[in-house]
Amino acid sequence: MPSMLLIVCSLIVYIALPSIFVTEQGQAKFHPQRVAFGNRVRELREAGGLSQEQLADLAGIHRTYMSSVERGQRNLGIDNILAIAKALGVSPARLFEQS
């Protein structure tokens, strides 16, 4: 189970999971830059004809982690960015281009 941080303010309660914030009204908010990155990874993966599992294997990353990357729920480190780029056969910069 991922660690959680609970911050209680007078107006809003945020429960922080890896890139997901849940407001008091129960609405999930995602970091748009992580969602955009995940969408770009998915786009490049599909263009290469790879499944999430195949890409994860090529990158040396667990398949459930790759799934959460594509959903914008992960704040990736440089090692994983480089591994994903190499597995996709693209430069790391292409992972940050807008489609």
User: Using one digit for the tens of pLDDT, what is the confidence trace for 14-73?
Assistant: 444 444 555 566 666 668 999 999 999 999 999 999 999 999 999 999 999 999 999 999
Q: Which residue has the higher pLDDT, 58 or 8?
A: 58
The domains of the chain are located at 1-30, 32-96
pLDDT the model gives residue 28: 62
Cβ atoms 75, 19 nearer than 8 A: yes
What is the pLDDT averaged over residues 64-84?
Answer: 96
According to CATH, the superfamily of the domain at 32-96 is: lambda repressor-like DNA-binding domains (1.10.260.40)
Query: pTM for the full model?
Result: 0.71
Residue 79 scores a pLDDT above 50 = yes
Q: C-alpha distances in angstroms, 85 versus 8, 30, 40, 47, 68?
A: 39, 23, 11, 14, 16
How confident is residue 98, by pLDDT bands cut at 50, 70 and 90? confident
Residue 56's contacts (CB-CB under 8 Å, 6 or more residues apart) are 62, 63, 65, 66
Chain-centre distance for alpha carbon 86: 17
